[in-house]
Amino acid sequence: MERIDEKISKNRWIILITVVMCTFMACLDSSIVNVALPVMSNKLSVSMASIEWVVTSYLIIISATILIFGRLGDMIGKTKVFKFGIITFTIGSLLCGMSNSLLVLVIARVIQAVGAAGTMSTSQGIITHVFPQNERGKALGINGTFVALGAMVGPALGGLIIAAFSWKYIFLINVPIGLIVFAAGMKTLPKSSSKVDEKLDGKGAVLFTVAIVALFGALIQGQVIGFTKAPIILGFVISVIAFISFLVVEKREKAPLLQLSIFENKLFSISIFCGFLSFIAISSFSIIQPFYLQDTLKLNSAVAGFFLMISPIVLAVTAPISGHLSDKIGSEVLTFLGLIFTSVGLLLMATLNEHSNLLVMTIYIAIMTIGSGLFQSPNNSLVMSTVSRDKLGIAGSVNALIRNLGMVVGIAMATTLLYNRMSAKVGYHVINYVAGRDDVFVYGMRVVNIVSAIICIVGAVITAGRLAKSRASEKAETEAA
């Protein structure tokens, strides 16, 4: 177990800055590339289908390795794994910026993703370890803000960099930041005083990696060729078999990759599940919004980028406040209110059409984002407060894994549902915006937003049940006293 001395306690806010900078970079690089894909495709002389691997390889590798790094963090020390992640991510970023072929770029992205997984899997554990309980919500709230900011700021920032410089600078910008963060980490991050004398669960690691790669591959390729095709169905089958085998192995292992016992804690499991639902809903909105702004409302990229910044700005204000409030009044009420606000915001977004007022749209986005900000920080605090200190690494990695899974499932659900409803509306199969038929896209977008709202409402109902039980338990304890 790691021990935090007085010096570390005094430096806890510097440690937080070090951690959130890395978190921001890792999340930024999962979204900043999207806007550069057409330019990269042209410069590298490859098809759009091929250049998509620059995005998918990064996402797949993070999700496949994040539990492994979380377990290593608990075994050899979260700080060691975090530092390894920083330097690996920085090297990967440098190689990405030096790439002149798709193959080299994808390999560099894989290296970058390994580093990102190392930092993502241990960041929440380090924060929870360093901060006392009465400040933990605020600290995790700030970290959650930078997670969301990284994902949301990416497209706008990427567009600015590409307009002013080469596409390579969306990667090279990470190098000086990575070196500064690494140097700061060497001085401030807590040292690992001991390590666990256990071996890494190799079987579990392989099975989990196969399950995630097969699942993500099927989800991503299914959007391209259709989910009823034999290769896609086979991918899902392999994923299910590998995941079931993984669970069987984990139950038998003395030192498993994932200690399934943590899911016996209902608060942990419910918080993880509600987080998953929230990220499905939010990512569904995020993937559709740029098309609505540019293709339906006919805004140019600069103006659209301005409106895409509304969510990050609102979230940057809301999440730290929410985290601070969770330290004062508890997290259950805030998570419930957050999911309610998100649901209401999405239902309001479902009323938008090709003639909607931009100010009205801005208000709707703000309501939805306030909900996300109210929910994420307290929910992260709930997740991390339910496990013992020696399981902070794996708990943090599970939380980060669920976030990535929620984003992928949300994107796959939103695009599949959107094009399905658009096809039904127009009378033939479409997988793109139908020129001159804004009403067709609006119809599909409305269905996606309604379904996303329903998903959040399910989470709110579950959270309300958790809150009611918590209140009943507190009342019983008070009466007994």
The CATH number of residue 113's host domain is 1.20.1250.20
- Rounded Cα distance between 223 and 415, Å, is 7
Q: Mean pLDDT, to the nearest integer, of 433-447?
A: 88
| 315 and 365 assigned to the same domain | yes
| 240 and 138 assigned to the same domain | no
Q: Which of 256, 274, 299 is where one domain is finished?
A: 256
Q: Mean pLDDT, to the nearest integer, of 46-55?
A: 71
Task: Give the pLDDT of residue 2.
Answer: 41
**Beta-carbon contacts of residue 400 (< 8 Å; ≥ 6 apart):** 66, 70, 120, 121, 123, 124
Task: Give the pLDDT of residue 3.
Answer: 47
Residue 129's Cβ-count burial label (10 Å; 0-12, 13-18, 19+) is buried
Task: Give the pLDDT of residue 107.
Answer: 94
CB 74 within 8 A of CB 88: no
Task: Give the pLDDT of residue 50.
Answer: 72
Residue with tokens 């004398």: 197
Q: Mean pLDDT, to the nearest integer, of 429-442?
A: 82
Number of C-beta neighbours around residue 132 at 10 A: 11
| 58 and 171 assigned to the same domain | yes
Query: What mean pLDDT value characterizes the chain?
Result: 82
**Does the CA dihedral 79-404-385-139 come out positive or negative?**
positive
Task: Give the pLDDT of residue 478.
Answer: 67
Confidence class of residue 393 from pLDDT cuts 50, 70 and 90? low
| 123 and 209 assigned to the same domain | no
pLDDT at 4 over 50: no
| 144 and 50 assigned to the same domain | yes
Residue-wise pLDDT tens digits, 99-148: 888 899 999 999 999 998 888 888 877 887 777 777 777 777 777 777 76
Taking alpha carbons only, the member of 49, 412, 57, 399 closest to residue 236 is: 412
Task: Give the pLDDT of residue 237.
Answer: 95
Q: Which residue has the higher pLDDT, 390 or 124?
A: 124
Q: Which residue has the higher pLDDT, 29 or 86?
A: 86
pLDDT at 196 over 70: no
- Rounded Cα distance between 471 and 476, Å, is 9
Confidence class of residue 466 from pLDDT cuts 50, 70 and 90? confident
Instruction: Give the 3-state secondary structure of residue 435.
Output: coil
Domain count, the chain: 3
Q: Which residue has the higher pLDDT, 93 or 434?
A: 93
| 356 and 403 assigned to the same domain | yes
Q: Which of 149, 165, 197 is where one domain is finished?
A: 197
Most confident stretch, 28-37, 99-108, 132-141, 426-435: 99-108
> With the CA atoms of 227, 231, 235 and 236 taken in that order, what torsion angle do they form, in degrees rounded to the nearest 10?
40
Task: Give the pLDDT of residue 392.
Answer: 66
| 42 and 159 assigned to the same domain | yes
Residue-wise pLDDT tens digits, 310-335: 887 888 788 778 877 877 777 788 88
DSSP for 126-149, please give it.
Answer: HHHHHS-HHHHHHHHHHHHHHHHH
Q: Supply the range of the domain harboring residue 214.
A: 201-256
Confidence class of residue 1 from pLDDT cuts 50, 70 and 90? very low
| 64 and 85 assigned to the same domain | yes
> Tokens standing for 78?
């979260």
Task: Give the pLDDT of residue 199.
Answer: 79
